[in-house]
Structure 1
Amino acid sequence: MHKSLLSALLVLGFSGALQAAEADTGVTEVITRQLMKVDARIPVESVSKAQMPGMYEVVLGTGEVLYADRDGEYFMLGQLYKLSDDKGFVNLTEERLNTQRVALMSAVAEKDLISFKPEGEVKATIAVFTDVDCPYCRKLHDEVPKLNAMGIQVDYLAFPRGGERTAAFTKMQSVWCSEPDQRAENLTRVKGGESVEALVCESPVMDQFALGQKVGVTGTPALVFEDGSLVPGYMPAARLAQMLGVTQ
């Protein structure tokens, strides 16, 4: 949650909350109107009953999740846990975010990914948001042959950390604008510090950057597993394989 929104919520205090809606169908409107008091630009995507009785889960268009009572008088910003006898503390918020990530990532067209595939059976797939000028992204890329050898496919998405007006964006656009059968090689070359032909096209680079922000990427590399789990930062191939349940 952005600090500005958190501050606004605390300062406002939501005094004078609206009366409770007579039916759950009106809760979305009530909570949305309350949030509009803070900032009319807050994008409420959905409101549904949370697993915690009496609370509602509010999903914002930014991908963030918060919780509210049915009157929109009390809000909780943070993660909601449930105590399970067999699993201990279960992070319900992260489970919800994982579900969202799966849906968002599945909407990415395969042609817009730069994939490094195993020669044999694909045992697992990871999506990696990368910046070609990021040292740890380059370190992770050095591990890709090991991952492929273990049956792990690596699908790259662009995430130029500084946005569109950066050298990284220019390089990545050239990579994504190259011929499909040359993209993987060009990505490897650029990550290795080499140059490729400068190209301009209607690339998916900034769309993927926006997607990364929506799924919670704040730095690179950032890995998204098939179950929607978000893993930030570099990790050796052996450790990744262990997390994915892939035997070496």
Structure 2
Amino acid sequence: MRKSILSALLALSVSGVLQAAETDPQVVETITRQLMKVDARIPVESVVKAQMPGLYEVVLGTGEVLYADEQGEYFMLGQLYRLGDKEGFVNLTEEKLKAKRQALIAGVAAADRISFRPEGEVKATIAVFTDVDCPYCRKLHQEVPALNEMGIQVDYLAFPRGGQRSGAYAKMQSVWCAEPGQRAADMSTVKNGGSVEPRDCESPVMEQFELGQKVGVTGTPALVFPDGSLVPGYVPAGRLAQMLGIASE
């Protein structure tokens, strides 16, 4: 189940940075002050005019998007759509989130990802938040060779569902702390039920876990497509290729 917005916010210890270049600073201050009445640690990342007149789009550091009136008296948590004559319903909230996910994933260094690359042309790259003990993550991993054959690169990011005290975290720490050239092989070993040498280092495992929460990951596997779309759960290789616009067998 998706965490409620309040429980997610209460888990945070710092406030985000306000980015309010696109709207009246007084409105930003008013809306932010109103949210602070709920909890002073609410991380307001930006407040800008929404595409719907009279509404303001409020992006939180948790990845949540709210809509508020100018006085910060009314708030709406949900999807905002625009109806166009040609395109029909357009999910404006999802478009905003897709752009945010793209930026967050782009910020992950290549050295911090465990990548399974095609031998030939890379036609698309998906980022996969994974837990090595997750059955459906293991099932998806069995599809990686087929994905590579179709030109799809798989970049793994860590998301130990039980957090830092879980057994999955210890395994993933060992994988990410291996030498760069060994990590992919160790990932496959662990996902196939084997064990690797215990290792400890200053790894990006928990940083990626927190990133996943900001992206909106609530379970594994969770796939982020090049356009920023978030696809939860296991999807067969052929279907993934179709969703990416790549013809499958």
**TM-score, normalised relative to structure 1:** 0.91
- Please say if residues 31 and 71 of structure 2, whose CA atoms lie closer than 8 Å, have aligned partners that are also in contact: yes
* Aligned counterpart, 1:17: none
Q: Deviations over 1:218-239 (max 9, x none)?
A: 0000000011100000000000
Q: What are the superposed Cα offsets for residues 193-230 of structure 1, whole Å, 9 maximum, x if unpaired?
A: 00000000001000000000000000000000011100
In the TM superposition, what whole-angstrom CA distance separates every residue of 1:66-118 from its partner, at most 9, and x where no partner exists? 00011101111111111121221111101000010011110100000000000
> Where do 1:90-239 residues align within 5 Å?
90-239=90-239
CA apart distance, 1:24: 1.8
Could you tell me which amino acid in structure 2 is paired with residue 130 of structure 1? T
What SS does the corresponding residue of 1:83 show, helix, strand or coil?
A: strand
Aligned-residue offset at 1:25: 2.3
Cα pair distance change 1:88/1:70, threshold 3 Å: same
Q: Which amino acid aligns with 1:106?
A: A
Letter in structure 2 aligned against 1:3? S
1:70 equivalent to 2:67? Answer: no
Question: Match for residue 4 of structure 2?
Answer: 3
- Cα deviation for residue 38 of structure 1 reads 1.1
Tell me how far apart the structure 1 counterparts of residues 39 and 211 of structure 2 sit (CA, whole Å): 23
Supply the distance in 2 between the matched residues of 1:232 and 1:201 (Cα, whole angstroms): 30
Aligned to 2:27: 27
* Number of residue pairs matched by the alignment: 232
Structure 1 Cα separation of the partners of residues 238 and 82 of structure 2: 32
Displacement, 1:65? 0.3
Which 4+ runs in 1 deviate beyond 4 A? none
TM-score by structure 2 length?
0.91
Structure 2 runs not aligned, ≥5 long: 8-22
CA distance in 1, matches of 2:3, 2:223: 22
Distance (Å, rounded) in 2 between the aligned partners of 1:135 and 1:25: 48
CA RMSD of aligned residues (A): 1.3
Q: Which residue of 1 aligns with 2:42?
A: 42
Whether the 8 Å CA contact 2:122–2:153 is kept in 1: the answer is yes
Measured in 1, the distance between the counterparts of 2:4 and 2:196 equals 40
User: What is the percent sequence identity of the aligned residues?
Assistant: 75
Counterpart secondary structure, 1:28: helix
Q: After TM superposition, give the deviation of residue 186 of structure 1 in Å.
A: 0.3
Q: Distance in 2 between matches of 1:238 and 1:3?
A: 34
Measured in 1, the distance between the counterparts of 2:127 and 2:32 equals 33
Higher-Rg member (1/2): 1
Secondary structure of the corresponding residue to residue 132 of structure 1: coil
Change (3 A) 1:171 1:219: same
Unaligned stretches of 5+ residues in structure 1? 7-22
Report the secondary structure of 2:198's partner residue.
Answer: coil
TM-aligned CA deviation for residue 2 of structure 1:
4.7
Give the SS at the match of 2:59: strand
